[in-house]
């Protein structure tokens, strides 16, 4: 089996060493995990029993390079789990995840390994000044020296946070917790995906779809046809399908059905996630207590740019004090408008998008749907590459000889202005039943040192955007175009990485810094100078009319208060879940309603629950970390102000952002990196100023 298993080949004949996806079958994964895991364990045993004195090379670097084959196999498995997996593939997570969790815990709690790491830490880091960012970022030796210090420091910290100093009994329990938790998150995700896929709304009466734009109706008719319906329109809970219903459908009852379905996913149904939430919280609380922290949130924040729960909470509360009163006014405007327009007595959640859009249209004399013809997906993608080429000098070329895991996936080579290869990129942009919802950037290979030398990254952008139909291309909303820009910002963070050690490379930064490169990339989409490079009508080639662009820009802070309060609700609810004693939480829904009451702007929707579908915090990497979006947005608003001051394509600013933010990864503390770029610490009011909430 070993020789025949295609997953066990780290090298192949492809010119880019691209992953041979078509060769893989579901039955290959578990054996490949088991074999590569045994290999990784053997490497660890050799390293920890090395009779030579601990050094950076024989300890820290060995840990950095350990288990490359295991990483390769596991990375492919879990990326496909999110993007392209059937029931058998998903089921394997219950076996694979505990194996990996057990191995990770075994390493981080091994006293012999920790003794070696501590010896190197004491010799090279403890009591010594951390290296400053070199004045000359072309000085590779100075950068490598700084990275060496940072890698030792992060390795040592990782062992402490991983339980290296616990008693044997506590180490054993910590391993059990990790293994149990590793099974819960994939199950949570499966439940959300299954609940999302199960709901369909088939409409045959044209009166019931009145108001929904023609583009969306064509897509819904195409979906109905694909699903075997003889006529009508089929709507699903995919964002590209449900959003037009909530925003445009005149039939209030249809909007209500759609809102109810979306807001109750994986709650009190066959895919109910309530018990998984309780179990997850109990395990996280117990782990934090074992490691000496009061709560899971305290454990998480101790290793973040924010540094403490108090600092992060104070940051959010300051925004709340300004945003909530603004949001209340914005909702009241919509309520009065709905009353005036249609005599609506009570504004409900399923009314908000509909009447907000009507109000926006009245105030700014444009409908966001008008923009779709200028955002054909191929044009947006090419425009994105044109814009980033102008900013950073990169060149992106589509290639057709790279194997893919689904026909929807396209592949791209990325080069710098000097024709140096930067990396391979996959793009997988449209929804399907085998893919979880939302959008994300992931990696199949990190930049940096591998056993066979330096390697460039392989990244992937995954999304669920408006698909094409048999008679219409994919035409995106402005929000969907923003999604592509956002995720490509993450991709650039990996593609432009110029570090030495892959554990510090690209997006391997402190979690509340990781959204800065993605969020700043969105800004170019709202600039005339950038849009003029690519926003052409897909039929006529006409440029986006200036009067329409002016309206879009004028409306950019429309309901900024509501937008901020929505994010604050998620972030502070996340903190509430991860600071409470889970033993006292008997009713998941009651707890959610209690902690979110202060954010209410509309009547509560009976049967709705956000937490049961909140995969970011219960199945992703954002537990006690959802605040990171607002934190990084504040950094981004401040960073972007320098581009606005100097010019959005100013090469001096762009080169500085690239050198300090995009290329450095986690080689230095993010505050040091930000200060090096901006010349000072972040302006705490930059976000509120940018959103028009303060002067």
DSSP secondary structure of 639-673: HHHHHHHH-TT-HHHHHHHIIIIITTTTSS-HHHH
Asked if 404 and 521 sit in the same domain, the reply is: yes
Whether the Cβ atoms of residue 326 and residue 561 lie closer than 8 Å to each other: yes
Rg (CA), the chain: 25
Q: Max Cα separation, the chain? A: 83
Band of pLDDT at residue 3, cut at 50, 70 and 90: low
The whole-chain average pLDDT of the chain stands at 97
| Dist. CA 110–CA 95, nearest whole Å | 23
| Calpha distance 19→580 (Å, rounded) | 44
Residue 687 is assigned to a structural domain of this protein:
no
Query: Looking at the structure, do residues 227 and 146 belong to the same domain, yes or no?
Result: no
Counting the structural domains of the chain, the total is 3
Domain that holds residue 231: 199-263
Q: Which residues, other chains included, contact 102 with Cβ-Cβ below 8 Å and sequence gap of 6+? A: 175, 178, 179
In a shared domain, residues 151 and 17: yes
Q: Are residues 33 and 148 in the same domain?
A: yes
Show which of 493, 525, 554 is a domain's final residue. Answer: 554
Mean pLDDT of 355-378: 96
| Residue 274 is assigned to a structural domain of this protein | no
pLDDT of residue 2: 46
Residue 1 pLDDT level (bands cut at 50, 70, 90): very low
Same domain, 423 and 550: yes
3-state secondary structure (DSSP) of residue 126: coil
Q: What is the pTM of this model?
A: 0.96
- The H or E element spanning position 153 is helix 140-161
CA distances from 37 to 62, 68, 184, 196, 694 (A): 16, 10, 21, 34, 54
Q: Output phi, psi for 543, to 5 deg.
A: -70, 155
What is the rounded distance in angstroms from the CA atom of residue 373 to the CA atom of residue 535? 9
Name residues whose C-beta falls within 8 Å of residue 67's C-beta, 6 or more positions apart in sequence: 36, 37, 39, 40, 43
Does 208 lie in the same domain as 128? no
Q: How far apart are CA 126 and CA 58, in angstroms?
A: 19
Q: Let me know whether 155 and 204 are in one domain.
A: no
Spatial distance between the Cα atoms of 525 and 384, rounded to a whole number of angstroms? 9
List CB contacts of 35: < 8 A, sequence separation 6 or more. Answer: 2, 5, 8
Residue 156 placed within a domain: yes
Task: Read off the pLDDT band of 132 (50, 70, 90).
Answer: very high
Q: Give mean pLDDT, residues 249-263.
A: 98
Query: How many Å apart are CA 417 and CA 400, to the nearest integer?
Result: 22
C-alpha to C-alpha distance for 473 and 454, rounded to whole angstroms: 40
Residues labelled as active-site residues: 487
64 and 157 fall within a common domain: yes
d(CA 619, CA 185): 4
Band of residue 313 on the pLDDT scale cut at 50, 70, 90 = very high
The per-residue pLDDT for range 202-246, each reduced to its tens digit, is 999 999 999 999 999 999 999 999 999 999 999 999 999 999 999
| pLDDT mean over 382-394 | 98
**205 and 88 in one domain?**
no
Q: What's 451's domain CATH number?
A: 1.10.1370.40
17-37 pLDDT tens trace: 999 999 999 999 999 999 999
Supply the DSSP symbol for 58. I
Instruction: List pLDDT tens digits, range 436-457.
Output: 999 999 999 999 999 999 999 9
Is residue 147 one of the residues assigned to a domain?
Answer: yes
Interval 30-86: pLDDT, tens: 999 999 999 999 999 999 999 999 999 999 999 999 999 999 999 999 999 999 999
The predicted structure's pLDDT at residue 566 = 98
What are 87-121's pLDDT values in tens digits?
Answer: 999 999 999 999 999 999 999 999 999 999 999 99
| One domain, residues 205 and 146 | no
Q: Any alpha helices (H) in 497-627, and if so which ranges?
A: 516-521, 528-531, 546-554, 560-577, 588-596, 615-618
Confirm whether 334 is domain-assigned. no
User: In terms of domains, do 393 and 500 share one?
Assistant: yes
Report helix angle 68-83 to 93-108, nearest 10.
140
Q: What are phi and psi of 351, to 5 degrees?
A: -100, -20
**pLDDT at residue 197, rounded to an integer:** 96
Domain boundary among 533, 554, 575: 554
| 286 inside domain | no
Instruction: Examine the domain organization and report whether 453 and 502 are in the same domain.
Output: yes
Domain membership flag for residue 575:
no
Which residue, among 486, 524, 440, 457, has the nearest Cα to 665 in the 3D structure?
457
**613 found inside a domain:** no
Q: How far apart are CA 42 and CA 276, in angstroms?
A: 35
Mean per-residue pLDDT, 294-309: 97
């Amino acid at each position: 089996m070993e020789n025949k298993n295609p997953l066990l080949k780290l090298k192949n004949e492809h010119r880019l060493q691209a992953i041979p996806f078509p060769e893989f079958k579901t039955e290959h994964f578990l054996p490949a995990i088991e074999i590569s895991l045994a290999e990784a364990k053997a490497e660890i045993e050799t390293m920890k029993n090395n009779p030579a004195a601990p050094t950076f090379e024989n300890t820290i670097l060995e840990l950095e390079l350990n288990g490359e084959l295991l990483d390769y196999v596991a990375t492919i498995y879990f990326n496909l789990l999110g993007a392209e997996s059937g029931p058998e593939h998903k089921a394997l997570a219950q076996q694979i995840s505990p194996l990996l969790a057990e191995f990770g815990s075994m390493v981080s709690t091994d006293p012999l390994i920790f003794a070696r790491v501590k010896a190197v830490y004491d010799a090279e880091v403890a009591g010594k000044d951390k290296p400053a960012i070199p004045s000359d970022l072309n000085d590779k030796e100075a950068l490598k020296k700084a990275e060496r210090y940072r890698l030792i420091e992060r390795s040592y910290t990782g062992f402490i946070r991983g339980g290296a100093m616990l008693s044997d009994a506590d180490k054993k329990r910590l391993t059990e917790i990790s293994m149990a938790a590793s099974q819960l998150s994939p199950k949570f995700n499966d439940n959300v995906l299954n609940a999302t896929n199960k709901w369909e709304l088939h409409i045959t009466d044209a009166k019931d779809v009145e108001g929904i734009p023609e583009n969306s109706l064509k897509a819904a008719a195409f979906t109905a046809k694909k699903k075997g319906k003889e006529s009508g329109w089929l709507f699903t809970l995919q964002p590209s399908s449900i959003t037009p219903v909530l925003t445009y459908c005149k039939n209030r009852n249809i909007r209500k059905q759609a809102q109810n379905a979306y807001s109750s996913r994986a709650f009190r149904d066959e895919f109910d996630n309530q018990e998984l939430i309780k179990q997850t919280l109990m395990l996280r609380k117990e782990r934090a207590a074992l490691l000496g922290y009061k709560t899971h949130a305290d454990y998480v924040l101790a290793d973040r740019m924010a540094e403490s729960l108090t600092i992060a909470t104070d940051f959010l509360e300051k925004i709340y004090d300004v945003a909530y009163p603004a949001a209340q006014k914005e909702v009241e405007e919509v309520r009065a408008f709905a009353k005036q327009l249609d005599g609506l007595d009570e504004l409900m959640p399923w009314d908000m998008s509909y009447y907000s859009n009507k109000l926006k249209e009245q105030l700014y004399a444009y409908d966001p749907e008008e923009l779709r013809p200028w955002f054909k997906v191929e044009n947006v993608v090419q425009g994105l590459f044109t814009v980033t080429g102008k900013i950073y000098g990169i060149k992106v070329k589509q290639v057709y000889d790279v194997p893919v895991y689904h026909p929807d996936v396209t592949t791209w080579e990325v080069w710098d202005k000097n024709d140096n290869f930067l990396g391979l990129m996959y793009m997988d942009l449209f929804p399907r039943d085998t893919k979880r919802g939302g959008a994300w950037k992931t990696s199949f290979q990190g930049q940096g040192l591998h056993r066979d030398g330096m390697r460039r990254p392989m990244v992937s952008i995954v999304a669920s955007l408006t698909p094409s139909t048999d008679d219409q291309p994919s035409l995106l909303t402005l929000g969907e175009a923003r999604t592509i820009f956002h995720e490509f910002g993450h991709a650039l963070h990996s593609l432009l990485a110029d570090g030495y050690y892959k554990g510090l490379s690209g997006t391997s930064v402190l979690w509340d810094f990781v959204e800065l490169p993605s969020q700043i990339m969105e800004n170019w989409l709202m600039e005339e100078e950038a849009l003029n490079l690519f926003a052409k009508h897909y039929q006529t080639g006409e440029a986006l009319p200036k009067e329409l662009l002016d309206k879009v820009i004028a409306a950019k802070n429309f309901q900024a208060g509501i937008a901020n309060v929505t994010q604050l609700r998620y972030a502070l609810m996340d903190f509430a879940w991860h600071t409470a004693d889970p033993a006292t939480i008997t009713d998941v829904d009651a707890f959610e309603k209690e902690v979110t009451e202060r954010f209410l702007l509309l009547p509560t929707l009976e049967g709705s629950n956000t937490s049961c579908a909140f995969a970011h915090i219960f199945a992703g990497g954002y537990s006690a970390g959802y605040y990171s979006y607002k934190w990084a947005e504040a950094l981004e608003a401040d960073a972007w102000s320098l581009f606005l001051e100097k010019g959005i394509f100013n090469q001096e600013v762009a080169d500085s952002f690239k050198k300090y933010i995009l290329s450095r990864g986690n080689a230095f503390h993010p505050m040091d990196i930000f200060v090096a770029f901006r010349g000072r610490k972040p302006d705490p009011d930059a976000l509120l100023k940018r959103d028009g909430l303060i002067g």
